[in-house]
Structure formats: structure tokens, C-alpha cells
Amino acid sequence: MGAPPLLIGAHVSIAGGIEKAFARGEAVGCTAIQVFTRNASRWQAKPLTEKSIVAFHDARQESNIGYVAAHDSYLINLASPDPELRNKSIAAFIDEMERCSQLGIEDLVMHPGAHVGAGPESGMNTLIESFHRIFSQAPDDVRVLVENTAGQGTCLGARFEELAEILDRLPSHKLAICFDTCHAFTAGYDLTSAEVYAETMDRFDRLIGCDKIALFHANDSKKPLGSRVDRHDHVGRGLIGPDGFAALMQDWRFTAVAKIIETPPGEDHCDDFANLAFLRRLANGEEV
């Protein structure tokens, strides 16, 4: 049996129709893509039409894209102490899961949210309660990928221990992890060499289990280790650097796990082409 196909790609636009994401991804060499299923900066969203749903399914069937994930709206805060905002967030997240179910998108990436001064313990309890409400109403065929954060402000999910707690307190079959390399680095987990990458991933494995990682966001960082500031850079060109990404791309545990870049595409998508080509070279063990 041969090695599984290399699943790498980018977050792609859905402008003009969500089904157009596949052609856009293929145009820059993606074998995996991430999309929004709605406008990420607005609370309200028009329901998906049957025409749009069918077009998405047809485009996916004709595409060589092997993996698709959605990312939820950045407005959503399931850990908010404000009842009105929390209820809006729960309703919006259920809508996100329903849209994924309609489109056949199996994984929905989300940020754990912020406690906004209520304290980490209170924020965590609120997040867990929100998820219980969501899972009692949302479709069963969509898995939630909890993304680690940089820890800016009062955001939860920067520490591996917090991610472990979320997974421990909720139904395990409904959840997995989206591991963002930039966020981990600026949260204080070093990834700059093969040695420290191994130490960081061993720590993750002990606390959570590497088998829980269902997706990587392969972003370099403009900000230093432990800065708790989320600023993505192009792969290998930031403060993590090429050695850390080489360790990731050559880690046998994650050969079949998709890696998505979330950086500006550049003029005519020149940076998308460069980033994906770089990841391919690293995966093949080529010198860079």
C-alpha cells in the first residue's frame, strides 16, 4: 500500500458562490481547502439554497480536493459571560453546523472563545455549557475542531491543559483538535527545530493525544515565542522558520492529516503557490 496523498492547501474565498471554492483551490495546487460557509463578519446569514447545495456537492465530486473543512464566524464567543452574546453565539454556531451538514463538510473549526474578565474557570464552564446546548440541537454528522489559540487578551485554549479539559468534559466522538502552529508558538510552545518540535508534540501527546489532531493550520509567526500575539507569516519566513515546518511535514503521525495555510495569497496568488510548493519540498525531505 502506498503512502496517503499529501493533503495541503489554503483557506479559499467563497465569493460568488461557495461551490467556486474548489476551482479556486485547485488553481493554486490545493489538495485540501478551508472555507467559510457564510459571511464571517456578520451575525445574520441567508440560508443556503438548494441550488447552492447541489452545486457544492457536484463541484466536490468533480474535484481532486481530498479534504474540506469549514471555519466558523469570528463573532462567535461560546464562553461569553454576557447572556445575550452567548445566546447569539450558540444560535450562530448551530447554524454553522447545520450548513456544514447540508454541504457534507465533516469538520468545523472554532476558537474556544474568551472569558472577557470573568476568569478562565468561569469561561471554561460557560463554554462547556454552551456546547451541551449545541450538541443537543445540532446535526450529528459534523465534528467540531477546537483550535488552539495564541492566548491574546482573555482567550481560552492557548494552553494544552485547557484543550485537554474541553475534550475531557464533552463527548469525545464530537470533538477533535485543529493545531495552529503560529498560535502554539506565540502561546509559548517552541517549534523552531526538530528537537524542540518533538518536545512540544510529546507534551501534546501526553496531555491530549496526537491522534486527536484532525487538521493543522500551517502558519509561521511574525511575533516571538510566548508573545501571545496572533500574527501569521508565510511558511518558513517567520520566527518559527523552515526547520520546525520540516519536522511537522516529515512527522509520520500526521502524514494523512491536512495542513492548511492562512496567509495573504499575494498578487495573483503568488504567495499561495510559494507556500504550498515549500510544504511539498519539506514533505519530500528536499533541502530548502
Closest alpha carbon to 276 in 268, 263, 287: 263
Measured between alpha carbons, how far is 183 from 221 in angstroms, rounded to an integer? 8
Residue 262 is assigned to a ligand binding site: yes
Residue 180 is assigned to a ligand binding site: yes
Residue 232 is assigned to a ligand binding site: yes
Measured between alpha carbons, how far is 225 from 268 in angstroms, rounded to an integer? 31
Beta bridge partners of 147: 178
Residue 140 is assigned to a ligand binding site: no
Residue 121 is assigned to a ligand binding site: no
Report residue 29 as a C-alpha cell: 495546487
29-49 burial, b if ≥16 CB within 10 A, otherwise e? bbbbbbbbbbeeeeeebeebe
Whether 10 contacts 25, CB under 8 Å: yes
Residue 147 is assigned to a ligand binding site: yes
End-to-end CA distance of the chain: 29
Beta bridge partners of 179: 216
Measured between alpha carbons, how far is 177 from 215 in angstroms, rounded to an integer? 7
Residue 173 is assigned to a ligand binding site: no
If one counts every other C-beta atom within 10 angstroms of the C-beta of residue 187, the result is: 23
**Annotated binding site for Zn(2+): which residue ranges?**
71, 111, 147, 180, 183, 217, 230, 232, 262
Which residues line the annotated binding site? 71, 111, 147, 180, 183, 217, 230, 232, 262
